[in-house]
Each structure stands twice: as structure tokens, then as C-alpha cells.
Amino acid sequence: MSGNGDAAATAEENSSKMRVIRVGTRKSQVSLARIQTDSVVATLKALYPGLQFEIIAMSTTGDKILDTALSKIGEKSLFTKELELALERNEVDLVVHSLKDLPTVLPPGFTIGAICKRESPYDAVVFHPKFVGKTLETLPEKSVVGTSSLRRAAQLQRKFPHLEFKSIRGNLNTRLRKLDELQEFSAIILAAAGLQRMGWQNRVGQILHPEECMYAVGQGALGVEVRAKDQDILDLVGVLHDPETLLRCIAERAFLRHLEGGCSVPVAVHTAMKDGQLYLTGGVWSLNGADSMQETMQATIHVPAQHEDGPEDDPQLVGITARNIPQQAQLAAESLGISLATLLLNKGAKNILDVARQLNDAH
């Protein structure tokens, strides 16, 4: 009996000596942000059984302003600012985000230390119970579809002119409740990855493929933000990098950054890695989808096995640090994104984006 007591006391003593890694997340109980954070922490716990992980939740600006379309608020770091302040003040060591929420230029002192394996990057349609079995194409004339994204609305208005698109805000739970309980929306558009992570795949009535609706930069991937000079934590989270997801997302983020797009203009992408080639399709749209421009380019990129030795220096590319992935592959991906953005800008994309920005600001 006393032997067991001693063992328990020793275990308790050891756990009190364990290093604690503090992980920041957006506040709310069964939220997507919490589920995403928990999944990354579970992976880290399995990799580092000798460490303790403590999750610290906090509210962000984006969680507090729920009555305004995201594109109208004009704040690039809506869901990240408070979490970055906690990182800066050393109150947390890392923060898990949806990569699509992270601006392509991070504030000084921060970096994305890991990009986890991407889940489905596509958008999904969830229908009101009375329209289950329908598709966007077969919804009745003038049906109202809810989306908080200019990117989705612009592309879908062009593709499905018989539908009307209206802004809908709130977390996933709130949006689904608005769909089911109010008679306002026939369907809403959400990221498929978010529905998957919440375990709500059964609500997906239709997956939108790139020819119908290209996705947001970084959609479906999780990014782990850390202090840029915290080498310890960078080493700790670096093993989470998924090489293919990383290279696709570097290309996508470089494309968006060079276009100077953000959530106040409709910009979308599609990437694929096949036989050593990285294919990037990018497009820009006017707010109503009437004007659009898209192109595809490709580059030869060797997708490395994880843990190949990378360079010793730590250059950040589009806000990302990945020491264990060869720099040559990262630079090739970044160059592809910049080249595609340059091609679109040379063809007049800037005019489409400027008009979209002005119209959005005016509304």
C-alpha cells in the first residue's frame, strides 16, 4: 500500500517539475478554435510526453463584433491581435489559428512556426432542413444564401445568378442555428474543414469544387504562431510542419501578399502538387462577380521528406519559419505565387481589386 503511495507521490513530484507550455486560443467552449487547439496539443503531447501543456483561452475583437460583415471592419488581425499581445507579453508560448485568419505580413517579432497537414480546403453548402437534397443550382429562384465572405459571394453570384447572397456572422454553432431557426436563409456556405473538425459532416449537402468556387488562401490548414526569436518553441513546433501543405500555402500566401489582397477584396486560389510540380491557380473578382480574371502557373518543386536538413539561417517567407524544409523548395513556392500575382496585375487585376475595395468601403 505504502509502495503505491510513494509511486503516486513521485509521479506528482515529477509532474510539478515538468516544463509547462502555455497555448493560447480564442475563448468559447465547444468552438472550432478550441477543437483545433486541442487537436494540435494532443499531437504535441504524444510527441513530447515529458512536457505539460496548459490551454489559455481569451476573447478576440472578431469574437466581440458579431453584427458587422468581416470585410467591413477593416482590421486585418481580427481574430489574432489579442492572442499576439499575450504572446508578446510572454503569457503564452504558442497560438493555434486557422491559417486563413493569419495576415500574410505578421507584426514584427512573430512567425508561423508550423503549418499542420491540411484538411479539405473546399467550401461546403449546408441547406435549410426543407431544402435537404437540393444543390445551389436547384434551389428556387431568389433563394437567400448566407456567407460572411466576399470571395464566396462574388464567385457564386457569377455561377448562380438566380440566387441572392447575404452576410451571416457568428461562430459555426450560431450560423447553423440562424439557418435552421430563422426562415431567412435557404442555405449557408462554410469551410468544409471546420464542419469536419466539429464532427458535423452530416450537415454537408454539397461540396463546392474549384470550378464552382475556389478557396481562400490557407483554407483548411492550421498555423501555429510563436515568438520569432523563441528558438526553443520553434524547434518544438517545427516537427508539425507538413511539407506539401507548407509549400502550397507559401505559394498561396505569396500570391495574396503580392496582390495586396485581404478579406476586403475577392481573391481565391487552388493549389495541387503532382509529380514534382506545384500548380497554382489564382483569381480576382469584382464584388458582384461580373468582372473576373484567373490564371494558372506551375513550378517544379521537390517535396522533401520531413526532417531533411535545412539551412541554418531562419529567413521568414510570408510570415512562416520552416527550418526543417529545404529553403530552395520554399523559395520556389514563394516565387510561383509572386509570378502568378505579377501576371494578373499586368493583365489589369489591380483595377478589379481597387474598384472592389472602394465599393466595399462605400457600402
- For the chain, where are the E strands, in sequence order? 19-26, 51-58, 94-98, 110-115, 123-127, 144-146, 164-166, 187-191, 204-208, 222-227, 267-274, 277-285, 292-300
353 phi, psi to nearest 5 deg = -70, -40
CA atoms within 13 A on the CB side of 203: 28
- 67 counts as catalytic: no
State the SS3 of 36-84.
Answer: HHHHHHHHHHHHCCCEEEEEEEECCHHHHCCCCCHHHHCCCCCCCHHHH
User: Distance between CA atoms of 169 and 165, rounded to whole angstroms?
Assistant: 13
Smallest CA-to-CA distance from 360 within 33, 68, 127, 44 is with: 68
Q: What is the CA radius of gyration of the chain?
A: 22
List the Cα angle 129/122/302 in 5-degree steps: 165
List the Cα angle 29/262/291 in 5-degree steps: 125
The grid coordinates listed for 167 are 452576410
Collect all residues with Cβ–Cβ distance below 8 Å to 254 and sequence separation of at least 6.
104, 317, 318, 333, 334, 335, 336, 337, 338, 341
Q: Given 63, 93, 101, 242, which residue is catalytic?
A: 101
CB 137 within 8 A of CB 347: no
CB 269 within 8 A of CB 354: no
Q: Which residues are catalytic?
A: 101
